[in-house]
Amino acid sequence: MKDDLRRKAGKDFLQIRSYVNEDGSELPVLKFETLEQYSFLEHCYSLRDGGVSEGIYASMNLSYARQDDPENVRRNYERIAGIFGRHAEDVVVTRHEHGTHVIRVDHAGEPEPAEMRYDGIVTNVPGVVLCALAADCMTVIFADPVQKAVGVCHSGWKGTLGRISREVVQTMTREYGTDPKDVICGIGPSICGDCYEINDEIAGKFLEGFPGHGAEILVDKHNGHQMLDLHKCCEITLKECGVRTVLVTDVCTMENPEHLFSHRVMGNAHGNIGAFIGIKEEV
C-alpha cells in the first residue's frame, strides 16, 4: 500500500506493515514501532484495505452488525487473525454499549452470557486475540511487558468521559498484578480534535469531568459548538492513573475515509475497523 495517509504533525507515527493474503493480495495494517519492540505480543490496527467485503463495506469490514455478508466478515477476521498465527475463532471482540464495563477473558471464543455488554477486555492467555471496533471512536490497546498481560477498549465520548481506559488499567492491576507505570498504551486511528465537533451541552460535561483541563481538550467555536480532543482526554486519564507511556495516533479517521471507516463522513453506510492485540503462544 502506498502511504498516502494524511497525518497529524507532532503525534506518534503509525507504521504501515504489509502482509500477503491467501489469494496473493496485500493486507496492510498499522502498528506502533514502540510496541513492535516487545516480543511477547502482536498488535495491529486494521485499515479498510485488504478484505473481501463489497460495496459500502469494502473491503476490510469487521462488524457483523452492519448488514454485511457474515461470511465475508468471517473471512476478514481470518485474514487479520493470520497476522497473529491464529484463526477467526480465536478473536474476542468487545460488545459495545458506550460504557465502562471491562471483563477478563481466559479463553478464545465468545464469552458468556451472550447478552453481556462490555467495551473493554483484558487477558494474559497466549493465543487469545483481543479486538475493539470503531469508525471514529477511539480504540486503545494496553500492554504490560512485566506481567505479560494485554487489553483493549472502545472509547467513544461517553466511555472517555467515564474514563474507561482507567478501568482497563485498574482491571489489569486487580487481575494480573499490573503496575500502571509499566503499561504501554496505544490510541489507534480515530477522529482528531480538529474534526470532532460537539455541542455545548456535551462540552459542559467534559469541563466537569476534566476539571482544570478545559483549555487542553476544548476549543469553543462560539456558535453553540466546540471542538473536543478525545485523544488528549484519554492521555490525561492514563497519565493520572500512573501510565507513563501513551502513544497517540497521527491518523484521523475523518481525514482518511479512503483508508478508514468514518461515521462522520459516511453516516450509517460504513463498516468498522479494529484494534487487535494478543500474546504470542511461544511466550
Does 90 score more than 90 pLDDT? yes
pTM of the complete model? 0.98
- Predicted local distance difference test score (pLDDT) of residue 109: 81
Model pLDDT, residue 283: 44
Please tell me whether the peptide bond between 111 and the residue prior to it is cis, using omega within 30 degrees of 0: no
What is the SS3 assignment for 174?
helix
Secondary structure of residue 264 in the 3-state scheme? helix
Residue pair 279/150 in contact by the 8 Å Cβ criterion: yes
pLDDT digits (tens, 9 = 90+) for 39-80: 999 999 999 999 999 999 999 999 999 999 999 999 999 999
> What is the side-by-side strand order in the sheet with 197-199?
197-199, 225-228, 218-220
Question: In whole numbers, what is the pLDDT of the chain averaged over residues?
Answer: 97
**pLDDT at residue 113 in the model:** 77
Residue 111: pLDDT band (50, 70, 90) is confident
Percent of the chain with pLDDT over 70: 100
d(CA 203, CA 218): 7
Tell me which DSSP letter residue 180 carries: G
Q: What is the pLDDT of residue 253?
A: 98
- The set of cell numbers assigned to 162 is 467515564
Interval 8-29: pLDDT, tens: 999 999 999 999 999 999 999 9
pLDDT tens track for 153-183? 999 999 999 999 999 999 999 999 999 999 9
Compute the average pLDDT of residues 178-203. 98
**Is pLDDT of 129 > 90?**
yes
Domain 14-190+246-279 has CATH 1.10.30.50: no
151 with 139: CB under 8 angstroms? no
pLDDT in the model for residue 117:
92
Domain range list for the chain: 14-190+246-279
